[in-house]
Amino acid sequence: MQPSAQQTQIRTTVKKLCLIVVVMCGFVVAMVPLYDLFCEITGLNGKTGGRYTYDPATTTADKSRMIKVNFITNTNDGMVWDFWSEKGGMRVHPGELRAVNFYVKNTTDKVMVGQAIPSVVPTAAAEHFHKTECFCFGQQILQPGEVMEMPMRFIVGRELPNNVQSINLSYALFDVTESFQDAAIATGGG
Amino acid sequence: MSEAISAVDHDDHSHGPAKGITRWLFTTNHKDIGTLYLWFSFSMLLIGGVLALIVRAELFQPGLQFVSPDFFNQMTTNHGLIMVFGAIMPAFVGLANWLIPMQVGAPDMALPRMNNLSFWILPFAFGMLIATLFSEAGGLNFGWTFYAPLSTTYAPDSVTFFIFAVHLMGASSIMGSINIIATILNMRAPGMTLMKMPMFVWTWLITAYLLLAVMPVLAGLVTMMLFDIHFGTSFFNAAGGGDPLLFQHIFWFFGHPEVYIMILPAFGIVSHIIPAFARKRLFGYDSMVYAVASIAFLSFIVWAHHMFTVGMPLAGQLFFMYTTMLIAVPTGVKVFNWVSTMWRGSMTFETPMLFSIAFVVLFTIGGFSGLMLAITPADYQYHDTYFVVAHFHYVLVPGSLFSIMAAVYYWFPKWTGKMYSERLGKLHFWFSFVGVNVTFFPQHFSGLAGMPRRIPDYALQFADFNMVSSIGAFIFGFSQILFLFVLIHGIRNGKPAAARAWEGARGLEWTLPSPAPYHSFTHPPKVTDDEAHA
Ligand code: HEM
Ligand SMILES: [Cu+2]
C-alpha cells in the first residue's frame, strides 16, 4: 500500500508536534541564562554583581542620607569553619567607599577550601550594592587552624531607592573542598 | 477483558488478536494497548496505596511506631511519584486509547507501533523507580517535588535511577501525546467537525498539547540535576554560583500544567456521564470547550503560587495571586454547566453517575481550598501544612481518580460486552466516598491548626484528626480491593450488555456492538447530530 492522503497528513502533524517538543527543549535550556539575566536586572534573588569599578573623581557621597548596612555571616550545613565580621553593621552615606573586615578560621586539622556567597535584602537594594573588593570573588584555602582576615570594600549606590533605609548583606559560607579537588585534578594542578 | 475481545470474529482480513503473551507484547491495537495501560495503572494504584497506608499507619498515633523518619520520607516520596506518574496519568492514556478512536469514528490510533512503544517503556521506568526502594544506597526520600538541593547535594545515590525513570516516563508521555493529537486531528470521520467532537476528545486534545509543552521541561530539569550530581555543574548549587530557586521555578513551570493534565480528561469524562444519566444534552457545550482551553492557557502563568513563601517581590506575588484566582472562573463555568445539565433532568443514579456527582461536589471543595491557598497572605500560613495535602487530595482522589472509576464503570459494558453488578458497584462507590472524606476532610483542620506536611511524628494536639484520617485511609484502601473484585466478577459473570448499554448514552462508540469489535470503524461512520458530542 502506498501512503494514503491520510498518512501523509499524519506525517505532517507529527513533524509539527516534534517541532513543539524541540522548541520546548530549547526553552528549558534558555531558561537558565534567562533566569540569571532576569535576576541580574531586577536583583530578584538578592545576588550582587561582580567586581565594581568606579571613578573616585566623579563619585561623591550623598551626605543627606544615612543607610544602615548590617552584616550577617552564616555557615552552610556541614561547614565547620568559624566565620565572623569585625562589626555587625555600620552607617554609610550613599556614594561613599567603605571597608569592613571579615574573618574565617579553619577549625579542623585538614586543609579546606571555602566559598562565600552573598545575598542582599531587600532585593530592591541588590543592584545598588557595589563591591570593589570582596573575598566572595574567590575561594579561600586554609591550612589547619589558620585564621584569615578578609577585607570587603563597598559603595552603596546613590540611586538606591529612597524608601530603603537599611540593607542586610548576608554571606553563606560553603565547604567546596571536594569540588575544588575535583577541579584541581581535572586541570592537572594541585 | 481479554476473553470478551477475542469472542469477536473477523471474516474480512486476518485481523483478530494474536494468541498468548505475544498478543500483549507486540500488539498495535488501540484496545489492547488501552487495556494494558489500565491494568498497569491499577497495579500502580495498589502499590502506591500500600505506601500510603504505611504512612497513615505511622501517623495513626503521635510518636514513632513502625518506621524510621527516613523510611517515612521514602514512603511519601514514592507514593506521590507512583500515584501521579504511574496511576493517574497512565489511566487517562489508557482511556484515551480505548475511547478516542471509537469516539471520532476511526479504526485505530494514528501511530499504532509507537503506541506499543509508549506503553512498554512504562513498566521499565517504574521497575527502575520502585527498585530504588530496595537499593543499598537508600530509597528516594526528597518528596515527589524533588526540590534541589535535597535531590542533588543531599540525595541518596539511587537518584540517578530516578532521573532515568523520569526520562523514560517523559518519552512515553510525549509519544502518547503525539499519537493522540495525530489521531484527533487526522482521523475523524467525515462530518465530525472540531466543534462536534465529544468532550473527552476535546479535553484530551488540549491535555496532549500541555504534555508536549511541559514534558520536555521536566526532562530538562532532571538532566540539569544529573549534570549537577555527576558532572560538577552548579545549576542549583549556590556554592558554585547556581540557584536552588531556579529549580523550583522550572519544576513548577512543569508542575502546575501537570496538575491540569491530571484533571482536564476528568472534566471530559464527567461531561459524558452526567448527560447520559440526566437524559439531557450537555449544557453549554461551547462554553465547556472554551473553558478547558482557557484553563490550559492560564495554567502556564500561575506556577509561582507554589512558591509564595520563597521571597518574591510584591508585584510577583500579586501577579500570581490574581492569575491563580482567574482560573477559578472557567472552572466555575464548568461546574455550573454540569449542575445545569442535571437540572430538571430525568436522573438515575447508577454507579458511574454516583462517581460523577461525587466528582462535581468534592472537586468543588478542592477548588475552594485552592482558592484559599491562592490568597498570598493566607498561604504564608497554610503553605507546607496538611491543608495543602487536603487540597490536592480533594482534587486528585475524588477528582481525577473518581472520574477514572466512573469511566471504567460507564464504558465497562462497551469494553467487555458484560454488565458489572450494579449492587457491588454501588457498594464500592459508597465505601470509597465515605473513605475519601473521612481520610481527607480532617486534614483541612489539622492543616489550619498548623500541622506541617511530610513529618513522621507530630504534636499531641493533632492526634484525633490523624487517627480519624488513618481510619478513613484504610477504609478507602481496602475498598479498592472490592473494585478489583467487581471488575473481575463483571468480566466473568456479568450479564451480556446491549450495544447502547445505557439508555441515555450518546456518541459513536455506542453505535458499535458490545464488546466493541477489535478494529473500531473500518469504514467511517455517518456522524449524525444525535451521535456527535453528548
Ligand atoms: C481552582 C483551582 C485551583 C487553585 C486556585 C489551586 C491553587 C493551589 C495553590 C495556591 C497551591 C499551593 C499551596 C501551597 O503549597 O502553599 C496548590 C497546590 C497544589 N494543587 Fe492546586 N489549585 C487548584 C486546582 C488544582 C487541581 C485541579 C489540581 C490537580 C488535579 C491541583 C493540584 C495541586 C497539587 C498536587 C498541589 C500541591 C503540590 C505540592 O506542593 O506537593 N490543584 N494549589
Ligand atoms: Cu499549581
Q: By three-state DSSP, how is residue A166 classified?
A: strand
Lining ligand 1 with CB less than 6 A are B 145, 259, 262-263, 305-306, 324, 327-328, 331, 367, 370-371, 373-374, 379, 382-383, 388, 391-392, 395-396, 399-400
B206 grid coordinates:
488540549
Residue B525 lies in a domain: no
Whole-prediction pTM = 0.91
Instruction: Please check whether residues A23 and A77 belong to one and the same domain.
Output: no
B232·A179 Cβ contact <8 A: yes
Q: For residue B428, indicate whether it is catalytic.
A: no
Residue B52 lies in a domain: yes
CATH number of B53's domain = 1.20.210.10
Dump pLDDT digits (tens) for B413-472: 999 999 999 999 999 999 999 999 999 999 999 999 999 999 999 999 999 999 999 999
Dump pLDDT digits (tens) for B144-188: 999 999 999 899 999 999 999 999 999 999 999 999 999 999 999
Instruction: Please check whether residues A100 and A16 belong to one and the same domain.
Output: no
Q: From residue B211, give the alpha-carbon distance in Å to each of B34, B124, B172, B204, B241.
A: 18, 20, 11, 10, 31
Residue B526 lies in a domain: no
Instruction: Please check whether residues A36 and A71 belong to one and the same domain.
Output: no
Q: For residue B426, indicate whether it is catalytic.
A: no
To test ligand 1's pocket by mutation, which of B395, B400, B402, B451 has the most ligand atoms within 8 angstroms of CB? B395
- The residue segments making up the domain with residue B134 are 21-231+247-511
Q: Is A124 on the interface with B (CB under 8 A)?
A: yes
Helices of type H across chain A: 5-42, 177-186
Give me the catalytic one of B31, B334, B383, B393.
Answer: B334
Which residues are paired to A141 by β-bridges? A113
- Tally helices (H) and strands (E) across chain B: 18, 2
Average pLDDT over residues B294-304: 96
Q: Is A66 on the interface with B (CB under 8 A)?
A: no
Rounded to a whole number, what is the distance in Å from the CA of A155 to chain B's nearest CA? 22
B223 grid coordinates:
538532566
Cβ atoms of B188 and B105 within 8 Å: the answer is: yes
Please tell me which residue of chain A has the smallest CA distance to B228. Answer: A179
Residue B11 lies in a domain: no
Q: For residue B258, indicate whether it is catalytic.
A: yes
Instruction: Please check whether residues A35 and A72 belong to one and the same domain.
Output: no
Chains A and B form CB pairs within 8 A to the count of 92
Instruction: Please check whether residues A97 and A8 belong to one and the same domain.
Output: no
Instruction: Please check whether residues A26 and A112 belong to one and the same domain.
Output: no
A17·B182 Cβ contact <8 A: yes
ipTM of the complex: 0.86
Q: pLDDT at position B476, please?
A: 97
Instruction: Please check whether residues A87 and A155 belong to one and the same domain.
Output: yes
Instruction: Please check whether residues A125 and A173 belong to one and the same domain.
Output: yes
Name the nearest CA neighbour of B534 among B198, B202, B283, B201: B198
State how many domains chain B has: 1
Q: For residue B3, indicate whether it is catalytic.
A: no
Cβ atoms of B351 and B409 within 8 Å: the answer is: yes
Question: What number of other Cβ atoms are within 10 A of residue A89's Cβ?
Answer: 16
Q: Parallel, antiparallel, or unpaired: how do β-strands A112-121 and A140-142 relate?
A: antiparallel
Residue B8 lies in a domain: no
Residue B534 lies in a domain: no
Q: For residue B346, indicate whether it is catalytic.
A: no
Residue A57 lies in a domain: no
Residue B531 lies in a domain: no
Instruction: Please check whether residues A180 and A142 belong to one and the same domain.
Output: yes
- The residue segments making up the domain with residue A15 are 1-42
- Least CB-CB distance to A17: which of B212, B224, B313? B212
Name which of A150-164, B269-283, B330-344 the model is least confident about: A150-164
Instruction: Please check whether residues A6 and A90 belong to one and the same domain.
Output: no
CATH number of A142's domain = 2.60.370.10
Dump pLDDT digits (tens) for A118-162: 888 888 888 888 888 888 888 889 999 999 999 899 999 888 888
Instruction: Please check whether residues A74 and A12 belong to one and the same domain.
Output: no
Residue B341 lies in a domain: yes
For B459, left (φ over 0), alpha (ψ -120 to 50), or beta? beta
State how many domains chain A has: 2
Give the model's confidence band at A188: pLDDT under 50 very low, under 70 low, under 90 confident, else very high.
Answer: very low
Instruction: Please check whether residues A77 and A170 belong to one and the same domain.
Output: yes
Residue A47 lies in a domain: no
B111·A14 Cβ contact <8 A: yes
Give the model's confidence band at B15: pLDDT under 50 very low, under 70 low, under 90 confident, else very high.
Answer: low
Query: String of b and e for B496-530 (b: at least 16 CB within 10 Å)?
Result: ebebbbbebbbbbbbbbebbbbbbbbeebbebeee
